[in-house]
Structure formats: structure tokens, C-alpha cells
Amino acid sequence: MNAPPDLSLVVPIYDERDNLAPLVTEIAAALGGIGVRYELVAVDDGSRDGSLEVLKALKRDHPEVHIVRFAENAGQTAAFAAGFRAARGAVIVTLDADLQNDPADIPGLLAELERSGAAAAVGYRVGRRDTGWRKVQSRIANGIRNWLNRETIRDTGCSLKAFRTDAVRALPLFSGMHRFLPTLIKMNGGTVAEVPVRHRPRRFGRSKYGMWNRAWRALVDAFAVRWMQRRALRYRVTEDLP
């Protein structure tokens, strides 16, 4: 682990104790056959269920696990920001710890990132394994974000994404901005590719999201991003003669 890895996986974790061992095993299986050196940056966002102890136990057998621990719960965007800062790979992949994202889809994201030359390759979930109410909430939140931000991203709520590290580190991140990473990439002049990915039912633990932080927070945060879009600096240098 002395040489920088090719790939950094950034995984925010908040009370996901029972999902962590299967997640590490599935990631190893997904990436073991493609010859990529990777690290797993596990950001413990103030878990209270023993997730940190499970991570430390896993690290003994999996040196690729890099643990970042928060003193208290700070939210998913903060966890991503800390993970981006700690990542050593030239490419960063984000995914949830709840096993609803399938690590077997990671090679497809990496292939599309390479094929397209884009700054990001983002997943959109097909065959959603959620309740009808959860699907409605997600559809409302996604529609609000795209309408306000004049976007066409199919699934802004899907955490399974691949980024070029230099592109994602250049983004301004505030609370709630993890939902808008593709839009922020575009604001910085980058391109975004979209890739269909699988979705699985949650086996352990419970969701941290409800109607409040899906639809209402989506509205508030989308207004913030719209403000940023309207005030973004836009210029093109035609000559620079020192």
C-alpha cells in the first residue's frame, strides 16, 4: 500500500455495521479480476452501532481499508469531502455502504470513464428495488433538481459514480451538495457520462432518508445550486502574453 493506488473507493458510513463485511468482500470480488490497485476509504460519519469497531477488525485482514473517523455525525456531503481529500487514486468511485449499490457495476463505470474521456461517469438505477412510496419520493426529488437546475441527469440520487480525482476535488462542497456533483462538474467545464447500474433491496439496517430530506431538502439545495449557476464566472482567454 506504499505506492498510490489506481482507484480510491469513497464510502460514507453511518450505522451500517452488518453491511460492512459483505461490502468489503463484494468489492474485492468485483475488482480482483480487472487488475486495478485500489483503496477503500471508509468514512465513519459518527456511527453509534459499532460500525467503527467492525471497520477496524476488517482492516486487519484487508490493508486496502483506510478509515477516516468523524467525531460526530456531519452528513453525507461532509463524508464525501473528507473521503475525496484522503483519496490517493487518480480515479474516485463513490458508493453507499448499504449494499443497494452493486460493486459488480464498478468496472462498467471505469470502462465508460476511460471510453468517453469524461470527467465523471455516473450511474442511474434500473429495476429499482424500493417500495412504491420510496420511488415516488425519489422521482419528485429528482424532478425538482433537474427542473430548477435545467439538468437532464437521470438519477441524481444514485451514489454509484466514478470521477477523475482532480475534477471532483476542484468542486465547491457545502451541505447537501453530494446530490449535485454531476451538475457541479458541468459548471466547471467537465463532461458527464451516464451508465445503467443495478439496484438491490436493503438487507440490514434502515434508510437514513425520508420525505423531508428527499423532496424538501432537494428543493432548498437545488435553489442554492441554481444561485451558483447564475453567478458562475464565465470567460474565455484568447491571448495571454507575459
Q: What is the mean pLDDT of residues 166-192?
A: 91
Q: What is the mean pLDDT of residues 193-206?
A: 86
φ, ψ of residue 182 in degrees (nearest 5): -60, -40
Residues 6+ apart with CB under 8 A from 170: 188
The pLDDT of residue 214 is: 58
Residue 207 reports pLDDT greater than 80: no
pLDDT band at 242 (very low <50, low <70, confident <90, very high): confident
Q: What is the DSSP string of 119-186?
A: SEEEEEESS--S-HHHHHHHHHHHHHHHHHHT---S-TT---EEEEHHHHHTS---TTGGGGHHHHHH
pLDDT band at 211 (very low <50, low <70, confident <90, very high): low
The pLDDT of residue 77 is: 94
Quote the percentage of the chain above a pLDDT of 70. 85
Q: Name all domains of the chain by residue range, CATH numbers in brackets.
A: 7-130+158-201 (3.90.550.10)
pLDDT band at 45 (very low <50, low <70, confident <90, very high): very high
More confident: 64 or 229: 64
The pLDDT of residue 147 is: 66
Q: What is the DSSP string of 40-88?
A: EEEEE-S-SSSHHHHHHHHHHH-TTEEEEE-SS---HHHHHHHHHHH--
The pLDDT of residue 161 is: 98
Enter the C-alpha cell of residue 151: 439538468
Query: 138: phi > 0 → left, psi -120 to 50 → alpha, else beta; which?
Result: alpha
Instruction: Report the predicted TM-score, pTM, of the whole model to 2 decimal places.
Output: 0.83
The pLDDT of residue 196 is: 96
* CA distance linking residue 107 with residue 58, whole number of Å: 23
Among 69, 101, 71, 90, residue whose Cα is nearest residue 169: 90
Report the C-alpha dihedral over residues 101, 105, 111, 112, rounded to 10 degrees.
Answer: -60
Residue 135 reports pLDDT greater than 70: no
φ, ψ of residue 213 in degrees (nearest 5): -90, 5
More confident: 33 or 192: 192
pLDDT digits (tens, 9 = 90+) for 47-83: 999 999 999 999 999 999 999 999 999 999 999 999 9
* CA distance linking residue 201 with residue 192, whole number of Å: 27
Which amino acid is residue 149, in one-letter code? Answer: N
The pLDDT of residue 3 is: 84
Go through the chain and tell me how many residues it has. 242
First-residue to last-residue Cα distance in the chain: 43
pLDDT band at 238 (very low <50, low <70, confident <90, very high): confident
